[in-house]
Amino acid sequence: MLLEEPAAGTPGSDQALRLESVTKHYVSPGGSVTALDDVSLALDRGSFTAVMGPSGSGKSTLLQCAAGLDSPSSGRVFVDGVEMSGGTEAQLTKFRRGRIGFVFQHFNLMPTLTVLQNTTLPLRLAGRRVDRARAVATLDRVGLGERLDHLPSQLSGGQQQRVAIARALVTRPRVVFADEPTGALDTRSAREVLALLQEAVRIDGRTLVMVTHDPVAAAHADQVLFLADGGLVGRLAEPTAAVVADTMTRLTEQVSGRRVSEGV
Ligand code: ADP
């Protein structure tokens, strides 16, 4: 239930995110698709996990279900030990705003709001007091303390993504979900963004889940989870870009080989 807090010290209370047998079917005119098939996982607080897999393997669906943006067909999702179900849509939204942060590939900043206004927006939406000093400190952390009154259009892509990171962190969320956060950036900006995400984990103890196609980005995580055909098929601790790239190549070959033999 959304409103029940777990008691400290109960089993699993050090987990920031837990999925129990999560399955998601989509019904479309062509028939039913199983986008996630019985996925279970548990992520500790203060961990950084990358999620990889061939196109269509269920990465976006996993992120959507884990973040409470979509509901599983079956199975359960717990954030910070609290199950994300059983409440109204309004309660779910409030829960998400309090505990979850998002970083998207294309930044998703409000074009008419300044850097500072974009950063404080989640606090305003959550009805929380807007602590200007905290927002400015967060923007200082991402190197944009001098750009408070700029509009997104006056910033580079890398700078816009850094605003988006400040916006995701300002509420001090338990879990941050990042969907291809470096996908639209040049190599140098990508490196800066990954360093900031790592800092949020190492220094602030945030828990980060990042979907990425990029083995170099994935190598910044503590572990990589590999998805294929809606299921978890592998886990790599202390990943290096080379081993991640090899694993992805093998997985993609296996999946396309299977599709050819199945006549897909
Ligand atoms: P990925 O992010 O790894 O590319 P997705 O989670 O987007 O994978 O998709 C997994 C599977 O679910 C794919 O077969 C995709 O076509 C299907 N799918 C995703 N979203 C929908 C939807 N809204 N309606 C129908 N099928 C969907």
Assign 91 a pLDDT band (cuts: 50, 70, 90): confident
pLDDT higher than threshold 90 for residue 86: no
Q: Which domains are seen in the chain, by residue range?
A: 15-107+174-261 (3.40.50.300)
Check pocket membership of 64 for ligand 1, CB cut-off 6 A: no
pLDDT of residue 13: 63
Count CB atoms within 10 A of the CB of residue 29: 4
Whether the model clears a pTM of 0.85, i.e. scores above it, the answer is yes
16-39 pLDDT, tens digit each: 999 999 999 999 888 999 999 999
Cβ(57) – ligand 1 distance below 6 Å: yes
Q: Is the pLDDT of residue 221 over 90?
A: yes
CA of 224 to the centre of ligand 1 (A): 20
Closest CA relative to residue 228, chosen from 251, 260, 212: 251
262 has a pLDDT exceeding 70: no
The Cβ-side half-sphere exposure at 193, using a 13 Å CA radius, reads 32
> Average pLDDT of 181-186?
96
Decide: 234 and 247 in contact? Cβ < 8 Å: yes
Checking if the pLDDT of 1 tops 60, the result is: no
SS3 69: coil
pLDDT value at 171 more than 70: yes
Ligand 1 geometric centre to CA of 31 (Å): 13
